[in-house]
Amino acid sequence: MGTQGSDGIVLQLERVRAGYGGRPVVFDVSLQLRRGSVVALLGHNGAGKSTTLRAIVGLARVHAGAVLLDGRDIANRPCEENIRDGLVYLPQERAVFGELSVRDNLLLGAQVVKDRQAREQRLERVLTLFPVLRERWAQPARTLSGGQQRMLSVGIALMAGAKVLLLDEPSLGLAPAVAQSLMNTIRELVKSEGLSVLIVEQNLRLALDLAQYLYILRMGQLVLEGPPQELEEQHQLWQLF
């Protein structure tokens, strides 16, 4: 288990074995995410990174171990219940409704929020973070660029009240400048609102710049962990990638 410190742990995996059907893909994975921090889960394609995220939110089967959200085991709990508790997963695919307008996509994200004033405050916050969504307010989501759709999907998560955000390769398919802008916004959310982020990212440099702690998966098992600077200084990261 990692030694990030025990204070403020919002999400914790304890020796999780998970996969699809009866076939495990990840084995004995243990990790921690502290409130208001960014942790990156890295590894080659097929290492089990996406499966780990999907297991956390109930989209892949947890065969053994525990998934703790604020100290409560949520392993194999329905995804809808996790969203109500602020645990939101954004897959690699653009998580938007293409035929609906930007406005309607954002308001759909706020369905679980009953207080009108709270919805309006969240909406204004999202539009301030992503001004392009205000400009494209009435357009169908399918007409947005890839980067704009990714911004919209993050906006939907914020409208749903995300406290813990699981991001699966958010920079995939984005131009470098757009990807960097998105990471800057995520960093701002972590700093200003205490958002906790577990990110899977193929772009090693982006992950190193954003995360405070790294876990490295290989063939479904954790093989390395630690703060980015420490792993870089030991030249361990570049031997794995």
Residue 184 confidence (pLDDT): 94
Task: Please check whether residue 179 is in contact with residue 146, taking contact to mean a CB–CB distance below 8 angstroms.
Answer: no
pLDDT score, position 2 = 46
Give the per-residue pLDDT at 115. Answer: 80
Take residue 11 and report the two structure tokens written for it. 């999400």
pLDDT of 7: 66
pLDDT of residue 5: 43
Structural domains of the chain, ranges and CATH numbers in brackets = 9-240 (3.40.50.300)
How far apart CA 44 and CA 215 sit, in angstroms, is 12
Q: What is the distance between the alpha carbons of residues 84 and 100, in angstroms, rounded to a whole number? A: 23
pLDDT at residue 225, as a whole number: 95
pTM for the predicted model, two decimal places: 0.92
Residue 146: strand, helix, or coil: helix
- Which positions of the chain have pLDDT values less than 70? 1-7, 235-236, 238-241
